[in-house]
Structure 1
Amino acid sequence: MKIEQIYTGCLAQGAYYIVSEDEAAIIDPLREVQPYLDRLEKDQVKLKYIFETHFHADFVSGHLDLSRKTGAPIIYGPTAQPDFEAIIAEDHQIFQIGKIKIKVLHTPGHTLESSTFLLIDEEGKENAIFSGDTLFLGDVGRPDLAQKKGTITQEELAGMLYDSLQNKIMPLPDDVTVYPAHGAGSACGKNMQKETVDSLRNQKRTNYALNQPDKESFISAVLEGLTAPPKYFGMNVTLNKSGYESFETVMNKGLNPLNPDDFETAAEETGALLLDTRSAAEFHQGFIPNAVNIGLKGDFAPWVGSMVVDVKQPLLLITEPGKEKEAITRLSRVGFDNVVGFLEGGFESWKKSGKETDEIKRISPDEFAEQFHTDLKIIDVRKESEFEKGHLQNAENKPLDYISEWAGNIPDQEHFYLHCAGGYRSMIAASILNSRGIRNFTEIGGGYNGIIKTGKIPAPQITCEK
């Protein structure tokens, strides 16, 4: 038996490849399925089943393409109602793969169809659980995504989750290995550990949600501090439930090289968003007017989802030459399939064509420290939880996630400084503000972390404790 966790850091997502004898199963595959096909060919095994723990909200699964290419059926837990052919398993139904078995445990709470897959090894021992978004390491799945006004509340879902954990997960042997669908950084939970694999014994000991004295306490604990989910989540659920274009179709459509003139024409004709995926350090020195910067070397896809929201929005890409495929692949993982094309030769070709460019004023932490005084207007775009742990004197916390809500309230006449933790998010914010005609600001490269390291800002930085 072989279990391989295929972890994608930028999505904080774990897919699983399981082999026994000449058969395999894959759990929660990513959108691009070629890596799985390569593994199957290398191991000379047949894919027997594709298991989906639930209808994912934060990424588009590769279940449909993988099923089309291999003929393997897709399996969901009880109550799932996909718009395509799939096996809807019964609670405790068992599926054989080689000499091992996968037992379906219906564990509603994160969503109504959420299921955990229990692996029983060749000797009949309960070996591991693939817990999806039911149980994370250090946390449990958020119970607010499947709530529907007038039918079910987040409190009711949290109660279901408690019952699922108590009745299906906690009775399992302590030495069972826990393989979750997500790790730290995912918006599907709030308190995840950095590790991606653990024993159930350790989770029973350390996971706050598993150590609540009763259901009421559990409901209160898991709902406390939940921020609103990213707005693109619902659209991803629809794609996973209803279907989508094949990855190859999306890639072929997006890999459309455009010279500067054609790129400009396409922007005018399609109303596409100009998405510049270069680093913040490159972007601020020169970019196409109205382009939005979300760097590929970061949590690219989740931030595109949070900032752009509408997965049907046409996109035109400006990337480092040779990075076009990577950008399209990572966009497809969160359902942004409408890439119209990319600027051939990157920004340099635009600049050489003599077309108009724009810049954003960026200074270093040391330069900011020299300019600092207590009357400065400072906007900190980090999360509220980060801000509370420490922030600059007089800084206002305006999280990047909510920029659409606060951008329109910034007075044009007053200059301000803009920062995040390290410069990635603040340049996203800077590019969005700039595209909306808000230009009277200076962005701080290196962010809060860099500013603190200078040792030149009056201490202590304000620290708030809840």
Structure 2
Amino acid sequence: MTVEQIYTGCLAQGAYYITSMGEAAIIDPLREVTPYLDRLKRDGVQLKYIFETHFHADFVSGHIDLSKATGAPIVYGPTAQPGFEAIVAEDNQTFEVGKAKVRVLHTPGHTMESSCFLLIDEDGKETALFSGDTLFLGDVGRPDLAQKAANLTQEELAGLLYESLYNKILPLSDDITVYPAHGAGSACGKNMMKETVDSLGNQKRVNYALNQPSKEAFVAAVTEGLLPPPAYFGGNVAMNKLGYDSIDRVLERGLVPLSPKDFEAVAEASGALVLDARAPGVFAKGFIPRSINIGIDGDFAPWVGTMIVDVKQPLLLVVDAGREEEAITRLSRVGFDHVLGYLSGGFEAWQASGRETDSVERISAAEFAQQFKADETLVIDVRKESEYAAEHIVDAYSRPLAYINDWISDLPRDRHFYLHCAGGYRSMIAASILQARGYRSFTDIEGGFGAIAQTDVPKTDYVCQSRVSKK
């Protein structure tokens, strides 16, 4: 028996590949299924089951395409109501994969159908727990995503999660290996460890949620500090539950090279948003007016989902040559299936055509330090609140990028301000959105707070809660 974790860092997502005696199972597969099909062929095994821990919100699973390609049935836990043919298992139902077995443990709380899968090896020993979003390393799944569907409050869902964890997971052996669906960086939890595999025994010791003195304390602990989920989550749940276009169709539709003239015409006719996936520093020097920069060499897909929100939004791509398919594939992982084409020849072709271009004013941290004046310089910090609280520029305003639509109207249009994040990736996303909405009087700081910290600009961990003054 073999178990392989297939971890995708940009989504902080773990899929799992299990083989035993010529048969295989895959748990929580990603949207593009070719790598799984290649593995099955390489190993000479037949896919027997596709297990889904729940209807995922943060990515679109490959369960439907994988089932069509292999004939393997899709398995969900109790209460699931998929809009396609699938096995809805009973609690404690066991499925055989070669000489290994997979037992379904219904663990509602994150969602109502959420289930963990307990792997039992050829010798009958319980060896691994594929815990989905029920149990993370250092955390548990957030209990607020399924409130509307379940007609329950987040506190009631947290109570169900407590029962699932304390009655079904904690009694399991300490030496069982925990394989979660996500790691640090995922929006499905708030306190995940950077590791992606651990023993259940260690989690019993270090996971705050598994060490609460009462159900009431657990509910309070896991619901404290929950930030609003990204708006695209609902669209992903619907696709995972009801179905979606095949990835081949998505690629066929999106891999259309467009000349600058045709690119412009399609943008005007369709209302498509121009998504520029080049590096922030390259984008700053020149781009198509009103395009949005989300660099492909970063948390590309999650930030697209957070910033653009509507998974049905038509998109046109500006991307470095040779990375068009990669960009479309990564967008499809979070449900953005409506890419209408890409700019053939990239931004250089647009520029050569004589069409209008724009740029972002960007300076080094050293230049910022020279320009900085205490009590005068207005600084907007778009990092997370936790990053800001750890250390920030004195009197800087905390305005997390994820909530830009909530605070953008507070910014002054007639007063200059400086913009930064941790390293320059997120601040350029913000800069592109600001300029698309008519803000011009600002400067982005290259290298972000990481570079600023090396200068003599005054810093503090005192949190300023006041609003940005428009004066």
The question of 1:97 aligning with 2:93 is answered no
Question: In structure 1, what is the Cα distance between the partners aligned to 2:128 and 2:426?
Answer: 38
Residue type at the aligned position of 1:134: T
CA distance in 2, matches of 1:283, 1:465: 31
Identity %: 68
* Equivalent residue, structure 1, for 2:468: none
Equivalent in the alignment of 2:248: 248
Q: Give the drift of 1:464.
A: 4.8
Change (3 A) 1:20 1:465: farther
Q: Does the residue aligned with 2:148 lie in a helix, a strand or coil? A: coil
Deviation at 1:385, TM superposition (A): 1.1
SS at match of 2:10: coil
Which amino acid is the alignment partner of residue 244 of structure 2? Y
Q: Is the 8 A contact 2:319 2:346 kept in 1?
A: yes
Q: Are the equivalent residues in 1 in contact too, given 2:53–2:115 (CA < 8 A)?
A: yes
1:182 partner amino acid = H
CA contact (8 A) 2:139 2:191 kept: yes
Shift of 1:465: 12
| Preserved contact between residue 389 and residue 465 of structure 1 (Cα < 8 Å) | no
C-alpha distance in 2 between matches for 1:439 and 1:113? 48
Partner of 1:347: 347
Contact 2:396 2:464 in 1 (8 A): no
In structure 2, what is the equivalent of residue 451 of structure 1?
A: 452
Deviation at 1:353, TM superposition (A): 1.0
Q: Deviations over 1:190-236 (max 9, x none)?
A: 00000000000000000000000110000000001110000000110
The equivalent residue for 1:318 is 318
Structure 1: gaps spanning 5 or more residues: none
Is the 8 Å Cα contact of residues 397 and 464 (structure 2) preserved in structure 1? no
Q: Which residue of 2 aligns with 1:430?
A: 431
1:398 and 2:399 matched: yes
- How far apart, in 1, do the equivalents of 2:115 and 2:460 lie? 45
Per the alignment, residue 379 of structure 2 pairs with 378
Residue deviations 1:163-201 (CA, integer Å, cap 9, x gap): 000111000000000000000000000000000000000
Q: What CA distance in whole angstroms lies between the structure 2 residues aligned with 1:29 and 1:444? A: 39
Letter matched to residue 434 of structure 2: L
Report the AA paired with residue 452 of structure 2.
I
- The AA in structure 2 aligned to 1:423 is G
CA shift, 1:149, in A, is: 8.3
Find the aligned partners of 1:60 and 1:293 in 2 and give their Cα distance: 23
After TM superposition, where is structure 1 displaced by more than 3 Å over at least 4 residues in a row? 462-466
- 1:5-404 to 2 correspondences below 5 Å: 5-148=5-148, 151-374=151-374, 375-404=376-405
| Mapped contact 2:395–2:464 kept (Cα < 8 A) | no
- Preserved contact between residue 112 and residue 150 of structure 2 (Cα < 8 Å): no
Shift of 1:145: 0.2
Contact 2:29 2:61 in 1 (8 A): yes
Letter in 2 for 1:435: A
Alpha carbons 1:77, 1:90 under 8 Å: kept: yes
Tell me the distance in 2 between the aligned counterparts of 1:77 and 1:178. 18
Q: Which amino acid aligns with 1:389?
A: A
Q: Which residue of 2 aligns with 1:416?
A: 417
Question: Counterpart of 1:461 in structure 2: which amino acid?
Answer: T
Tell me the SS of whatever aligns to 2:26. strand
Structure 1 residue 457: deviation in Å? 1.2
Secondary structure class of the residue paired with 2:129: strand
TM-score (norm 2): 0.97
Asked if the contact 1:292/1:432 (under 8 Å) is kept, the reply is: yes
Corresponding residue SS for 1:284: helix
**How far apart, in 2, do the equivalents of 1:417 and 1:159 lie?**
44
The RMSD of aligned alpha carbons is: 1.2
What is the number of residues matched between the two proteins?
464
Structure 2 gap ranges (5+): 466-471
What is the CA-CA distance between 1:150 and the residue it aligns to? Answer: 9.1
Give the distance between the partners of 2:137 and 2:307, measured in 1 at CA.
Answer: 28
In structure 1, distance between residues paired with 2:463 and 2:350: 46
SS across alignment from 2:261: helix
**Which residue is 1:461 aligned to?**
460
* TM-score where L is the length of structure 1: 0.98
Distance in 1, matches of 2:311 and 2:346, equals 24
What one-letter code is carried by the residue in structure 2 that aligns with 1:413?
D
- 1:61-102 deviation line (CA, Å, top 9, x unaligned): 000000000000000000000000000000000000001000
